[in-house]
Amino acid sequence: MTRPTTTKILVDLRIALVQLNPQISQLEQTIKRSWTLLNNIPKGSKSPDLIVFPEFALTGYNFHSREQILPYCSDSVSAKGPIFQFAKQVSKAFNCYTVIGYPERVDDGSDLSVLYNSAAVVNANGNLVFNYRKSFLYETDKEWQCEENPEGFQTFPLSFLQKGTDLKTGEKVDVILKTGVGICMDLSPYEFKAPFNDFEFATYHLDRGTELIICPMAWLHSSSLTDAEDKNDRGKKMLIKENLKLNGVPEYGSQGDFQINFNQNSKPDRIRMDSEFVDKDYDKLNEPDMTNVNYWMLRFLPFLNLPIRNNWLQNNGDVLGQIMEMNGTKSYMGATQSDPWKFKGKNALLAIANRCGVEDGTTVFAGSSGIYKFNGEDTHESDHIDTTNESVYLYGNMGKGKEGVLIRDVEFEIDR
């Protein structure tokens, strides 16, 4: 019997994240600012392979009714309207994939069209190649009767021509990456009620061997007012207002004060921060919100090296099996019954494009868009579930409060 042989392919991609502060009813202005920003990105041979925009990148996020959002929704079947037009133009201008969050309506010709919170994946020819719908909804999505993705989490193939190198022969090869999209709340426990340790999104993608994970987000900064009582508390609103003034930005946050971060050599280790480090203040808008970045890493725990998993297997192998059966997953917190760490020896690339700015004087977005590689290395003896865990490589992050673009050249290995 011949064993199937796998080949290691080194994938090289240039990824750009665009961080925006879109405000409701300012679609045109946001598109205009986006182009000013995009015009800093090189074209031709140095152009990115993938550009990622935030959730509801151009429309703003805090819609409070179906009536309010309807005029901003795009129909994914015709793939027409200003948002698709923009995405297609970006893809063609930079000869790349564009991933952009937008409110979707599925038209049945009546007022009853179904609404989703979606992300379009547009290829270099300007064709919509995948449309992902948010599976786990946030409270705000429910205000306009958004529906959950009927398919749940999904993967799809994304092909990159001549972006791989066969590590045995040194030859350049085409690669088709197993790709997944997650929109913001998808990373959280379902309805904030599911057991935290189920890590539904990360587990789904670990089980399927997803190689490229793309997350358009409108993730909130912890200074946001989220429950109804706080939102109406004039004193609390005043604090946000005064703080914005202190930071020299208007009540909706900074716009057009761009942070262009193409520094490929920036020392990633500088921004590793222990989760003991808590910074709840909305200030230093040029710097990432490390409390949030650490939280995102925590939500990807199944992809992180944790030596303690070896003990789980020895002591609780049966319990692990029972939980996996109950959850319908192939792993639990990154472990299987035969393998303490399913991800060991693998690589996955994570690109998070989060929005910034403030809406309603209550919702402060966290920005801090960033690119990460889970390297599958268990050579470090740390059980830290934050950015100090060395099985995650930090390519770089944007600041929490500025619009801008971050570009990084990434390298990761896949098996074929």
Q: Which is nearer to ligand GLN, 160 or 300 (CB)?
A: 300
User: Closest Cα partner for 298 from 394, 196, 182?
Assistant: 196
Residue 354, exposed/middle/buried by CB under 10 A (0-12, 13-18, 19+)?
buried
Nearer to ligand GLN, 76 or 224 (CB): 224
The least CB distance from residue 227 to ligand GLN, in Å, is 12
Catalytic choice (73, 184, 215, 356): 184
Minimum distance, C-beta of residue 220 to ligand GLN, in the bound complex (Å): 4
| CA–CA gap between residue 260 and residue 285 (Å, rounded) | 14
Q: Which of 218, 225, 349, 414 binds ligand GLN (CB under 6 A)?
A: 218
- Least Å from the CB of residue 279 to ligand GLN: 16
348 binds ligand GLN (CB under 6 A): no
What is the bridge-based pairing of β-strands 172-181 and 348-354?
unpaired
Contact between residue 310 and residue 340 where contact means Cβ atoms under 8 Å apart: yes
Instruction: Choose one: 88-96, 143-151, 213-221, 298-306; the region binding ligand GLN (CB under 6 A).
Output: 213-221
86-89: list long-range contacts, CB under 8 Å, 24+ apart: 86/31, 86/34, 86/58, 87/120, 87/122, 88/122, 88/126, 89/126
* Touching ligand GLN, residues 35-64 (CB under 6 A): 55
Q: Which of 41, 121, 220, 301 contacts ligand GLN by CB under 6 A?
A: 220
* Active-site residue, 184 included: yes
Task: Name the segment binding ligand GLN (CB under 6 A); options: 65-73, 120-128, 183-191, 203-211.
Answer: 183-191
Range in contact with ligand GLN (rule: CB under 6 A) among 27-35, 212-220, 261-269, 322-330: 212-220
Q: What is the largest CA-CA distance in the chain?
A: 74
CB of 138 to ligand GLN, least distance (A): 3
HEC letters along 149-166: CCCCCCCEEEEEEEEEEE
Strand partners, 164: 11, 173
Which residue, among 310, 271, 292, has the nearest Cα to 392 in the 3D structure? 271
Which tokens sit at 200? 């539904």
* Least separation in angstroms between CB 327 and ligand GLN: 20
Name the minimum Å distance from CB 56 to ligand GLN.
8
CB burial of residue 330 (10 Å; 0-12, 13-18, 19+):
middle
Best CA proximity match to 200, nearest among 219, 181, 218, 187:
187
Q: Is 111 exposed, middle or buried (0-12, 13-18, 19+ CB in 10 A)?
A: exposed
Question: Which of 184, 392, 405, 406 lies at the binding interface for ligand GLN (CB under 6 A)?
Answer: 184
Cβ proximity to ligand GLN: between 117 and 375 the closer is: 117
Q: Kindly tell me which of 84 and 201 has the beta carbon lying closer to ligand GLN.
A: 201
Q: Is 188 in the site for ligand GLN (CB under 6 A)?
A: yes
Residue of 73, 96, 134, 403 with catalytic role: 134
What residues between 84 and 143 interact with ligand GLN by CB under 6 A? 138
- Interacting span for ligand GLN (CB under 6 A) from 18-26, 147-155, 218-226, 334-342: 218-226
Q: Considering beta carbons, is residue 211 or 289 the nearer one to ligand GLN?
A: 289
Residue with tokens 């179906």: 66
Q: How far apart are the first and last CA of the chain?
A: 20
| Binding residue for ligand GLN, selected from 41, 73, 185, 215, defined by CB under 6 A | 185
CB of 61: closest distance to ligand GLN in angstroms? 6
Residue closest to 122 by CA, chosen among 100, 141, 146, 93:
100
E strand map for 256-361:
259-261, 348-354, 358-359
> Please, which of residues 133-152 interact with ligand GLN by CB under 6 A?
138
- Of residues 286 through 315, those in contact with ligand GLN by CB under 6 A are none
In the DSSP assignment, the letter for residue 227 is S
The one catalytic residue in 55, 200, 211, 359 is: 55
Closest separation in Å from C-beta 289 to ligand GLN: 11
Residue with smaller CB distance to ligand GLN, 63 or 130: 63
Q: Which is nearer to ligand GLN, 83 or 146 (CB)?
A: 146
Q: What does the binding site for ligand GLN look like in residue numbers (CB under 6 A)?
A: 55, 138, 184-185, 188, 218-220
Give me the active site residues, please: 55, 134, 184
